[in-house]
Amino acid sequence: MVELDKYLIVGAALFVLGAIGFLTRRNLIVMMLSAEMMLHGVGLNLVAFNYEHGHNQGQSFTIMILTVAACEAGLALVLILALYKRRKTLDVDVWGELGEAKPLCDVRLERRSATAEPAEEEETADPRLTPAGRLPRFNKQETATRV
């Protein structure tokens, strides 16, 4: 077997193991680690080809991958902490529904109809789009004369 093939096979195995881990595990942090292992497999491929070609392009690419992996890990951990703060668990199945629990207009209607309860306030502490404000009232006759 050619020397290059051995490294390619190890890289492929690392990539597939990472993919399986990403798809099966339910812990958010283990999923992130599996994604990093996929990056390791790709980096190993690049370095093996780099050695065969005899220049430094593959290693330069791998350093770029390293940079992106560092950024990705930092941002992912912040997001995981934010998610954990909401539901107090690292289980990914909790986040199966991506939609908001209640549409914003319904929340507003409820507020208008009844006094808001404190529990409801806590529920609406989700990050939401900025409300667009009150609908402007048009004077029909005035707009008609303007046009």
Partner 1 sequence: MLSPQTAVFAVSDIPLAIVLPVIAIGLSLMWMLPRGGRAPSRLAKVLPLTLVWGSLFSLIGFGRFAVGEVLFGVFATAALLAGICMITSRNSAYSALWFAVVTLSVCGLFLLRSAPFLSAATVIVYAGAIIVTFLFVLMLAQQEGTAGYDATSSNPLLTSVFGMVLFGSLIVGITSWPKEAISVASAGPIETPAAEQTANVKGDAPLAAAPPAQTHRYFKSDETALANAWSRHPEGEVGSLHGLGRSLFGDYLFAVEFAGTLLLVACIGAIAMAPRRPQGTL
Query: Applying CB under 8 A, does 126 fall inside the site for partner 1?
Result: no
Residue 92: partners with Cβ closer than 8 Å, 6 or more residues away: 26, 27, 28, 31
Q: Give percent helix, percent strand, percent coil of the chain, each to the nearest 5.
A: 70, 0, 25
What's the closest the beta carbon of residue 103 comes to partner 1, in angstroms?
Answer: 24
Query: Applying CB under 8 A, does 13 fall inside the site for partner 1?
Result: yes
**Which residue's CB is nearer to partner 1, number 22 or number 120?**
22
Query: Applying CB under 8 A, does 111 fall inside the site for partner 1?
Result: no
What's the closest the beta carbon of residue 115 comes to partner 1, in angstroms?
Answer: 24
Binding to partner 1 in span 73-102, by CB under 8 A: 73-75, 77-82, 84-85, 89-93
Query: Applying CB under 8 A, does 47 fall inside the site for partner 1?
Result: yes
- Which of 120-144 are b and which e, b meaning 16 or more Cβ less than 10 Å from the residue's Cβ? eeeeeeeeeeeeeeeeeeeeeeeee
Q: Is the dihedral of CA 23, 25, 28, 29 positive or negative?
A: negative
| Radius of gyration of the chain, Cα coordinates, nearest whole angstrom | 26
**Which residue's CB is nearer to partner 1, number 24 or number 104?**
24
**Which residue's CB is nearer to partner 1, number 6 or number 102?**
6
**Which residue's CB is nearer to partner 1, number 79 or number 116?**
79
By three-state DSSP, how is residue 35 classified?
helix
Query: Applying CB under 8 A, does 23 fall inside the site for partner 1?
Result: yes
- Residue 103's φ and ψ, nearest 5 degrees, are -60, 150
Query: Applying CB under 8 A, does 42 fall inside the site for partner 1?
Result: no
Size of the site for partner 1 (CB under 8 A): 72
